[in-house]
Amino acid sequence: MPLNPVISKLSGKLVVLASASPRRLEILSNAGLRFEVVPSWFKETLDKSLFKHPCEYAVETAKQKALEVAQRMPFKHLKTPDIVIGADTVVTVDGLILEKPTDKQDAYRMLSRLSGKEHSVFTGVAIVICRDKNSSVTDYKVVDFYEETKVKFAELSEEMLWEYINSGEPMDKAGGYGIQALGGMLVEYVRGDFLNVVGFPLNHFCKQLGSIFNSPPASPAHKIKRDCDEAWTLVNKTTNGDVELLENVKDDSLTSVQEQNVMGLEFAKCNRQDVPHSIISLLDGFKVSKTLFTASKLKVFDVLNTPGGLTLEEVAGQINASLLGTERLLEAAVSLGLLERVRQEEISVYRNTEQASRFLVTDSPVSLHGYILHCNDMVWPLFSHLESAVREGTSQHERAFGKKKEDVFQDVYYSKDEVKIRFMDAMHSIARVTGKDLATAFDLSCYKTACDIGGCTGAMAYEFTKAHPELSVTIFDLPQVIEMRRHFQPKENDERVSFVAGDFFKDDLPKADLYILARVLHDWSDEKLHVLLSKLSKMWTPGCGLLVSEILLDEERRRPSRALLQALSMTEGKQRSTAEYSALLDKHGFTLKHVKHTDNLLDAMLFVKEEQNDKRTLLGCSSASIETAELE
């Protein structure tokens, strides 16, 4: 529960932190903000001599970091964020900007300068607000500010200096110290925001959010005053690369570096069409995917799941690969924000980013490793024959695998156990990542029993029983799937989760108050869906509900969508919008009541029988869920 009421207003928005800093992540997470981490690719090579004051340098770096992520995400991540937060922290003493030390000697020079002196810590923050004007134009409104904190170091002896440097802590921190850890022992006093020294000025950030979301806009393009230079900035970027910088400058407050920015942007406005960045990003997209696939297949992230990181030689030895190939793979992964390269004791080591540790390490509770391997082994070969798929309008299993689709299906479910386990592990990955958000999407308190149709390993079911203590869930899936469930069951067995074998097209469904169809409807033809939905309709009793989870298309099909790209595999099913799923279910008597866009891989819809609405209320389901869910 966020203490600041402004942060709660960001609920439901796609907020992105353009930084891999674990300290900034922790500060914002503790404040109750929900966000994704997408590290910026902006190279911090701005010429410091062009800036009149260190705060200007920190603010400009933060802005460039945030804008790079805001402009990249629609093409690399296939989604447009609502808000992107960029930040940059610098330490200054005697007019010199100190960033992260390059090696131990550099750390020694920095800390020696700070010894016995008061210095300033500046954090520049940029908040980029993204608004889609139409399918081809996005507005980027930039609000930036800075915070200054004064810090006084004690007189440091040579022994203390080197003891601290040899701890390794200074190497990835601006100014060569971390005040929240061992570096706090070097500090005599702090005047100002302590969290600003850690890496993010939370108090100032919340105040800026308040001015953005609580103040009525003066015009459709509301301009926010900058602290540093009294310039007001609004950046508009279109997908063809045109960039406009609109300045409302008070007197002569435009700095020389800002004049250079304006000149550069004017040049870009005239010439950027010769550099189609969005098309180039799409052109290289397959290389990005294959980098992730290869690193996962070689278990690079498992190898680097160790404190402190490993050298290039150590990684190459453990994955049994050449030094040249390993170096290029690791460097590519660093550029994608999957790994970090840091200096330790005059050598470079590689380590996982926070996201990689959470989602790419095999034994992580929410690992996507299984699904990534499935994409590499099964989906990638199909898409290598996309031209034939488009010409013929058929799936390309025969060209990709030398077998018909039906035979590939037989291999998955009826061949050796390891083949089945690989496929089930892929489905298990998606269920673990999406399960909690789906289980908590609606008020399900009136339901006591549920049936997860095609529930595979039960990963989704376990999330539902965690979220709803009074609910028991039955997984209904093919016998070959059910017999392999022991490979995926959690250590602490939940007696409320049970398994029943059967074919949902042929066999009777278990009775339940709530039926769950997660990633099922998009796979099958209308004829087969008619069979399944007719069976469900006949099973219906007063008070029943149907929870459907799929990737929901936007009605106009204008935004990039994983669902539209997935449809190119030419399965017999189809991807649908909310309205289309509603129309499909309506033919079988189901009425859409609630829709929830989870900001996760899957969205959720809750259906009921129209004639039984009043009975559901009597059974205890809260009508308040209508208010909390996003309705379409």
> What is the Cα–Cα distance from 324 to 397, expressed in whole angstroms?
35
Average pLDDT value for the chain: 81
More confident residue, 422 or 135: 422
Residue 88 annotated to the active site: yes
Percent of the chain clearing pLDDT 90 (strictly above):
40
Domain co-membership, 525 together with 589: yes
Average pLDDT in the 399-419 region? Answer: 67
pLDDT at 228: 38
Q: What is the 8-class DSSP label of residue 393?
A: T
Question: Which residue, of 322, 343, 364, is where some domain finishes?
Answer: 364
- 323 and 232 in a single domain? The answer is no
What confidence tens digit (pLDDT) does each residue in 55-94 have?
Answer: 999 999 999 999 999 988 887 667 789 999 999 999 998 8
Residue range 606-615, pLDDT digits in tens: 999 765 444 4
Residue 623 resides in a domain: yes
What pLDDT band is residue 262 in, cutting at 50, 70 and 90?
very low
Strands (E), 2-72: 15-17, 36-37
Per-residue confidence band for 345, with pLDDT thresholds at 50, 70 and 90: confident
Here the contacts of 577-581 (C-beta below 8 Å, separation 24 or greater) are 577/552, 577/553, 578/552, 578/605, 578/632, 579/555, 579/632, 580/553, 581/521, 581/548, 581/550, 581/552, 581/605
Q: Are 267 and 307 found together in one domain?
A: no
Give the residue from 469, 470, 499 showing the smallest Cα distance to 487.
499
Section 87-103 average pLDDT: 87
Name every residue whose Cβ is closer than 8 Å to that of residue 542 and which is 6 or more positions away in sequence. 612, 615
> Active-site residue among 88, 144, 229, 425?
88
Pair (486, 575) in one structural domain? yes
Structure confidence at residue 416 as a pLDDT band (50, 70, 90) = low
CA 463 to chain CA centroid, nearest Å: 20
- 354 with 225, same domain? no
Q: For residue 557, is it within any domain?
A: yes
Q: In this predicted model, what pLDDT tens digit does every residue of 429-452 receive, in sequence order?
A: 889 889 999 999 999 999 999 999
pLDDT of residue 415: 56
Predicted local distance difference test score (pLDDT) of residue 562 = 77
pLDDT at residue 412, rounded to an integer: 60
Is residue 324 scored above 90 in pLDDT? yes
Structural domain contains residue 176: yes
Same domain, 266 and 329: no
The CATH number of residue 583's host domain is 3.40.50.150
Q: What is the pLDDT of residues 511-564, one digit of tens each?
A: 999 999 999 999 899 999 999 999 999 888 877 999 999 988 877 766 656 778
Q: What is the pLDDT of residues 140-175, one digit of tens each?
A: 889 999 999 999 998 988 888 898 888 888 887 888
CATH number of the domain at 119, please.
3.90.950.10
Query: For residue 616, is pLDDT > 80?
Result: no
Nearest to 57 by CA among 47, 70, 67: 47
What is the model's pLDDT at position 408? 64
Please check whether residues 578 and 534 belong to one and the same domain.
yes
Q: Would you say residue 381 lies in a domain?
A: no
Compare 500 and 627 and report the one with higher pLDDT.
500
**Residue 313 CB neighbours (<10 A):** 12
In this predicted structure, the answer to whether residue 411 has a pLDDT above a threshold of 70 is no
Q: Does 315 have pLDDT greater than 60?
A: yes
User: pLDDT of 371-389, one tens digit each?
Assistant: 999 999 888 998 999 999 8
Structural domain that includes position 474: 437-628
CATH number of the domain residue 301 falls in: 1.10.10.10
Residue 98 within any structural domain of the chain: yes
Query: Same domain, yes or no, for 252 and 300?
Result: no
pLDDT for residue 8: 73
Same domain, 468 and 591: yes
My answer on whether 59 and 12 are in the same domain is: yes
Domain count for the chain, please give it: 3
* End-of-domain residue from the set 364, 382, 408: 364
State the DSSP code for 488.
T
Please give the pLDDT value at position 619: 40
Q: Is 20 inside any structural domain? A: yes
- Note the pLDDT of residue 271: 43
Domain assignment present for 121: yes
**Measured between alpha carbons, how far is 282 from 2 in angstroms, rounded to an integer?**
38
- Examine the domain organization and report whether 216 and 103 are in the same domain: yes
Q: Give DSSP secondary structure letters for 507-570.
A: SPPPP-SEEEEES-GGGS-HHHHHHHHHHHHHH--TT-EEEEEEPPBPTT--S--HHHHHGGG-
Determine, yes or no, domain membership for 427: no
pLDDT at 251 over 50: no
What number is the average pLDDT over the span 180-202? 89
Q: What is the pLDDT of residue 506?
A: 92
Confidence grade of residue 295 (pLDDT, cut at 50, 70, 90): very high
Look at residues 213, 238, 272 and tell me which one is the last residue of a structural domain. Answer: 272
Please tell me the predicted confidence (pLDDT) of residue 181: 82
What is the per-residue pLDDT for 476? 96
Could you tell me if 450 and 323 lie in one domain?
no
